[in-house]
Structure 1
Amino acid sequence: MRAASPALIALLNSGADFQMADLWTITLRGGAVVRWSGADVPIVSGGQTFALGPAIDRQDISEKIGLEVTTTDMTIVAGPDDLINGVSIIPFIRGHGLDGANVTIERAFLTDWSLPVVGSVVRFSGRVTGINAITGNSATVTVSSWTVLLNVNMPANLYQVACLHAVYDAGCALDPAAFAVNGSVTGTPSVKMFGSSLSPAANDFAQGRVVFTSGPNAGLSATVGSNDAAGNFQLVSALPNPPTAGDGFTAYPGCDLTQDRCNRRFANLGRFKATPYVPVPETAFG
């Protein structure tokens, strides 16, 4: 059963004519939010404006009971004037800009396109799990329901030297804001490398992340592969677009999940969840 406001229930029970439109909310890695209206006009719903965006054709949404993962494919047809962060949408998707994004599809109900939304219901929510096809002006994106996160092929706890927590997760319990460092891009950056205004310890941000706060990648998060003491960053995956000198970003130190790193860099040994002193399987005692 889906929740609906009293006003929407009254409209649906009234027998009066009404209009419907899909509302798309896409949260990119890093937290930037894109809102598109599936109608021919912008729509304001819940205090948020859903702007005219690209044409989106989606599959029918099936309802299933249990833990089975449901998916829907959305085909985005965009022209050169359809932009995300000032960049054309199709090149943005080709550059993995939508990878891991969260998607919510709402159905909005109106009595007239010129009047406020009476109410809306969430039809589907999940995350982008695949890009199936990209052409010059279209891309087909697969969105899977949140039950996809249950597809874990291992026990919850393993005997291993590396910590079972991810840095800043609920088990680690560190506040990333306490370790965040703001910087700006310098030099002549590429989609996988850029210089910065920072002077960090070598590889202090390795396996951490940077979140761009301005420029063509604003709102996107990227995993850091390595950094040197001069502030040069090497990313694990390419950005959708090269940063430009002066773009702002926030960097968060990474963790290699070792006991030493946990203790020396984060002083968080009390939450270190590993078994570093268990003998490796090849060790034998006579």
Structure 2
Amino acid sequence: MRSIPSALQAKLDSGATTLARCWIVTRRDGVVLGFTDHDCDLSVGGVACRAATGFTASEATSRFDLSVDGSEISGAFSDDALTEADLAAGRYDAAEIATWLVDWSDVALKVLIARGTLGEVRREGQAFTAELRGLADALAQDSGRLFTARCGVDLGDGKCRVNLADAAYHGSGAVTAMEGTSIIAVSGLGGFAEGWFTAGRLAWTGGANIGIAVEVKQHRIVSGEVRLSLWQAMAEPIAAGDGFTITAGCDKSFATCRDRFANTANFRGFPQIPGNDFVVSYPVPGAGG
């Protein structure tokens, strides 16, 4: 149950018009930003909530069952607050958002009215509309362990236990040329076999995309030159000389876990589970058992 300060409750009961909404956004990289629909900046819990972005919000929907509730916020991009480049780079993906109702004449009078995460974002020119997903959204996500032939954990996490800091599974390099929108020729990885970094993770340490990570689609060696294909185009242009670090990839099969990482003791799949071929197979006269 929400605890509403008595002074704020009195203003709510009186129909006071000194109320504003503030949103405090906490990105996964730890950056905290504040926004408000008031016409002046407000400070809520030590966070400066900016008015310059023209934030507005739709009415929230709520239900008595376990279906997902949510609302939307709209605003404009601002170079010193929320930039289009940061949004396109995924820095706001699944960011946590707290919505506060605040008395702008006395910001100590406030109440937390909702918590959620940032969902789908639609952009149009210099404006955007973002979906706010309520806490019930977590109930719609798959969780728990699945019975599949392939491993169900991420390479290098606490259950996998492969040390990705090991020089055998970790490399660094720089872009030498762009071969396409998401295909780059690189240096520094000549000591690794072709395919070693397929399905791996590349994190930019230099250039316009510094701090952003992306999955590697394919790692090839063509005429002695290493080429990496990325699963998605980067938000900012890639240039020759941009540095990166990269970790080995894993297709989550038992064979790869055994042969590449010698980590079968921590394999979290079920390689002996019958596959589709077994399920649809039928006896053939004269065929071996």
Query: Where does 1:152-191 land on structure 2 (aligned, <5 Å)?
Result: 156-158=145-147, 160-169=148-157, 171-172=159-160, 181=170, 183=172, 185-189=174-178, 191=181
**Counterpart residue number, 1:67:** 66
| TM-score, reference length from structure 2 | 0.70
Q: 1:52 to 1:111 in 2, by over 3 A?
A: closer
**Counterpart residue number, 1:106:** 99
The 2-side partners of 1:137 and 1:148 are apart by: 28
The 1-side partners of 2:100 and 2:47 are apart by: 14
State the Cα deviation string for residues 207-230 of structure 1 (Å, max 9, x = none): 232233554334433221122355
**Contact conserved, 1:67 with 1:147, CA < 8 A, in 2?**
yes
Highest RCO, 1 vs 2 (Cα 8 Å, sep ≥ 6): 1
> Displacement, 1:27?
2.0
The 1-side partners of 2:236 and 2:208 are apart by: 6
**Counterpart residue number, 2:254:** 259
**Contact conserved, 1:20 with 1:109, CA < 8 A, in 2?**
yes
Matched, 1:142 2:140: no
Report SS of the residue matched to 1:25. Answer: strand
Report SS of the residue matched to 2:55. Answer: strand
**Counterpart residue number, 1:123:** 114
| TM-score, reference length from structure 1 | 0.70
> Displacement, 1:104?
0.8
**Contact conserved, 2:171 with 2:247, CA < 8 A, in 1?**
no
> Displacement, 1:258?
0.9
> Displacement, 1:239?
1.8
Residue of 214, 219, 233 corresponding to 2:228: 233
Percent identity, please: 19
Of 180-189 and 207-216, the range deviating more from structure 2:
180-189
> Displacement, 1:154?
10
Q: Give the partner amino acid of 2:194.
A: A
**Counterpart residue number, 2:286:** none
> Displacement, 1:118?
6.3
**Counterpart residue number, 2:238:** 243
**Counterpart residue number, 1:272:** 267
> Displacement, 1:247?
4.1
Q: 1:166 to 1:216 in 2, by over 3 A?
A: same
State the Cα deviation string for residues 46-75 of structure 1 (Å, max 9, x = none): 555555663222222234444311222222
Report SS of the residue matched to 1:143. Answer: strand
- Number of aligned positions between the proteins: 269
Q: 1:58 to 1:277 in 2, by over 3 A?
A: same
Question: Which stretches in structure 2 are left out of the alignment for 5+ residues?
Answer: 284-288
Matched, 1:222 2:214: yes
Computed over aligned residues only, the root mean square deviation of the Cα atoms, in angstroms, reads 4.0
Task: Name which one, 1 or 2, has greater alpha-carbon Rg.
Answer: 2
> Displacement, 1:196?
4.1
Of 186-195 and 251-260, the range deviating more from structure 2:
186-195
